[in-house]
Amino acid sequence: MSQERSFVELTARDIAQGVNEGRWTAEAVIRAFLERCDEIDDRVQAWAAMDPDLAIEQARAVDRAIDRGGSDKPLAGVPFGVKDIFETADYATEYGSPIYRGHRPRADAACVALARSAGAVILGKTRTTEFAANNPTVTRNPRDLGRTPGGSSSGSAAAVAASMAPVAMGTQTAGSVIRPASYCGVVAYKPTFGYTLRAGFKPSAGSLDTVGYFARNVGDVAEFSSLSDGRQPFQEPDDPETPPRFALCRTAEWSAAESGTIEPLLEFVEALREAGANVADISFPVGFDGLADAQWTIMAYETARSLTWERLTHPDLCSEQLRAIFELGESLSDRDYGAARILANHSRSSLNEMLRRAGVHVLLAPAAPGEAPEGLESTGDPILNRVWTLLHMPCMTLPLLAGPAGRPLGVQLIGRIGRDWRVVHAAKWIEARFPYRATLDDAVA
């Protein structure tokens, strides 16, 4: 195996360790990933913009800093993709819209700047749906080029799945991180709402928008997210062998999951029990039945207002799908919006208390209704993500299952608000005992 090939198979943490220890250079790593992108992105089309010379220049700057004897950089030489909804000083930021073609911000988004300060190297901007809504991109799913990668973080999920980058940034307002990760067979993490730095990205629904992260393993996504959000690293549990307490959660949207998703999920639950975990069954109270509709109401209402300038001055450059969201958002009354916010606030506190009393650490649920849909006309249905995003709960998906066609299915882990560390610990416990179904060899060669 060539050194270039081995670099793209390394974890982000291994890459950084090797650069910091002088076993290889950041430049060598970046050149290997650029070669990988050059080999396959004409088929996957994950990148909206890429500047190889700029990436190599960034890598050389990391190498010079380390050669001068500076302190180790925890992400030294790690290439990452930046969803083109985040502002970047070195690249155009177009938000997936022709309205902003060639737009050049003067600064990086906060999370991007923090990742770079830790030694990470921007490999390029990844494709996003228009303003992170539901108008599909040209990006293809690396596990099956005839299927969607999901959205709105289409390019970020696809780039990581195809090993064109070990980590990438996305955003979630409904299901735009968890669902694409499930379709593409990678790990993804959406933190508790408010835990992520949103300065410098284009908002659509301010009470829902959350920065999310993609990787091929739990350790990488945990470290990359912590450093990019300016938070302390997740601490290891006192006893990593003690199984978390899980509960399989059937929400009102459970029927949206296909039989080819439910059957392997239930089999996985039994495997968890055999591995020593306690897995209870839990259902939402009747009063929670309207949460998915409430999320849609809030998202449409806020999006129509957040994108007022675009809506009023460039309606001809907005897609039909986006104009439909605007129309719905404008038709909703303040009373509709207020009622949805009240239901969400009440449900957050009620569910947190219910889980605390039940002693449940992490909920289990499908990450998407099924395998990635065929064709590129849709990014799939976020119905199994809407509720968790509305409730501001931390979520992670692991590529543990396969559907009827052999394509990836994610298991979604959901934690109590502010208990992100519980989700990370549970994900690591599972990862250590159950091999992932999606591997590098499954992606486009």
202 is catalytic: no
- CB burial readout 51-67, b (16+ within 10 A) else e: eeeebbebbeebbeebe
Q: Please, is 293 exposed, middle or buried when counting C-beta atoms within 10 Å of its C-beta (0-12, 13-18, 19+)?
A: middle
Q: 112 with 82: CB under 8 angstroms?
A: yes
Tokens of 396: 């992670």
Residue of 83, 125, 190, 202 marked active site: 83
Tokens of 121: 């190297």
Residue entry with tokens 């099956």: 144
Q: Please, is 378 exposed, middle or buried when counting C-beta atoms within 10 Å of its C-beta (0-12, 13-18, 19+)?
A: middle
Tokens of 272: 């968890």
Calculate Rg over the CA atoms of the chain: 21
Whole-angstrom distance, CA of residue 396 vs CA of residue 398: 7
**How many Cα neighbours within 13 Å face the side chain of 134?**
22
Query: DSSP string spanning 368-423?
Result: SSSSPPBBSS-----TTTHHHHHTT--EEEEEEEE-TTS-EEEEEEEE-TT-HHHH
Residue of 73, 97, 125, 152 marked active site: 152
176 is catalytic: yes
Q: Please, is 233 exposed, middle or buried when counting C-beta atoms within 10 Å of its C-beta (0-12, 13-18, 19+)?
A: exposed
Chain centre to alpha carbon of residue 114: 18
Q: 32 with 7: CB under 8 angstroms?
A: yes
Give residues with Cβ within 8 angstroms of 381, minimum separation 6: 256, 368, 369
Query: DSSP string spanning 63-85?
Result: HHHHHTTPPP-TTTT-EEEEETT
Query: What are the DSSP E strand ranges found in 194-270?
Result: 210-215, 245-250
Helices (H) and strands (E) in the chain, counts: 15, 11
Residue of 153, 176, 306, 347 marked active site: 176
3-class SS at 16?
helix
3-class SS at 444?
coil
Q: Which residues are catalytic?
A: 83, 152, 176
